[in-house]
Structure 1
Amino acid sequence: MSFLQQAIGWRQEGKLKEAIELLHKITDQEPDHGEAWYQLAWAHDSLGLEREAVPYYEKALQLELSAEDRAGAILGLGSTYRTLAQYEQAKMWLLTGINEFPERKEFEVFYAMVLYNLGEHAEAMQRLLIQLADTSTDQGISDYSRAIRYYADQLDRVWN
């Protein structure tokens, strides 16, 4: 088992401080190891250390990452910026995720959250309703998905 696998295992088991210590050793020895920087960010985020996680996410995104890790790092950074009330940075990163990974619906949901924070409530609701209609397996939602999609951008319209 590699040191990185060990650190990931510890992060998954909730041994976050141990994982962080090992990940720091890895990034000290291999400063271009994108996945280690990403895991370091994730471990800090998991401890509620969002501010500390930001530079690690940013560093990871400057380096080579697998598509899966890049998507996770973009989502992590965008979400973290949102929790820190840095909404414009969050919006930029989440839009990057939407553009790079259009098949990953989680970006739209987190983007809707940041739109809410920015006071763009109509667009936030529209995006959430479309995601609900497109992704729900609930029979009632499926039965009404066409109507939900139709009304998604007409929430303020009144029919007489």
Structure 2
Amino acid sequence: MKNISINTGRKGDFMNQIQILLDEGEVGKARLEALDRLKQEGENAELNYLCAVSHDAQGMEQEAIPFYEKAIDHGIQGDLRIQTYIQWGSSLRCTGKYYEAKEVLEKGGQEFPGNPVIQVFHAMTLYNLEQSSLAVEQLLSILGSHADSPWVKKYQKAISFYAARLDKIW
């Protein structure tokens, strides 16, 4: 579901290779490559993120969760940090871990208070926690002030996908 490109710069050819595999839809190969590389560089935040994304892209949200957590713990930075919070919270929500998802998304929201997508996934989680009024209020607020956000556009496919599947647990 989540096909996010990153610019790994000079981090190494292996990072670029994993990203290329993800971009080309070779998520199984990307996952195996990332898992293999993690044996040597387990504390590499971006590599943990790529491993999480490759699991997520194969519908293995449960398996992706620890890699997102490690990416944060090992200090992933910039837009990747934002994406990690979004995708970690989303994976937790998708697997029915609503309270954990709420906690992760709130932490991400505190760190990045202006990010509308963190707020959208937080609202989805509130819905799952049977706080529908608050969820709708939050979504309408986001819609009113962030409809044209590049972040919303980046995650538009995932948001639309989950809109009709809020009660589904994977």
TM-score range, shorter chain: 0.7 to 0.9
Distance of 1:43 and 1:136 partners within structure 2 = 28
* Residue number in structure 2 paired with 1:125: 136
Name which of 12, 19, 23 aligns with 2:23: 12
Greater C-alpha radius of gyration: 1
User: Helix, strand or coil for the counterpart of 1:133?
Assistant: helix
- Cα RMSD for the two superposed structures: 1.2
Q: CA deviation at 1:115?
A: 0.4
* Residue number in structure 2 paired with 1:23: 34
**2:48 pairs with 1:37:** yes
**2:120 pairs with 1:109:** yes
Q: Is the 8 A contact 1:4 1:26 kept in 2?
A: no
**2:59 pairs with 1:48:** yes
Distance of 1:69 and 1:120 partners within structure 2 = 29
* Residue number in structure 2 paired with 1:99: 110
Q: CA deviation at 1:54?
A: 1.0
* Higher mean C-alpha deviation, range 86-95 or range 56-65: 56-65
Name which of 77, 98, 101 aligns with 1:66: 77
List per-residue Cα deviations over 1:61-97 (Å, max 9, x = no partner).
Answer: 1102122111111111100010011100000001111
Kindly provide the amino acid, as one letter, of the partner of residue 77 in structure 2. Answer: S
Structure 1 segments of 4+ aligned residues over 4 angstroms from their partners: none
Distance of 1:97 and 1:66 partners within structure 2 = 12
User: Helix, strand or coil for the counterpart of 1:29?
Assistant: coil
Q: CA deviation at 1:135?
A: 2.0
User: Helix, strand or coil for the counterpart of 1:40?
Assistant: helix
* Residue number in structure 2 paired with 1:2: 13
Give identity over the alignment, percent: 33
* Residue number in structure 1 paired with 2:93: 82
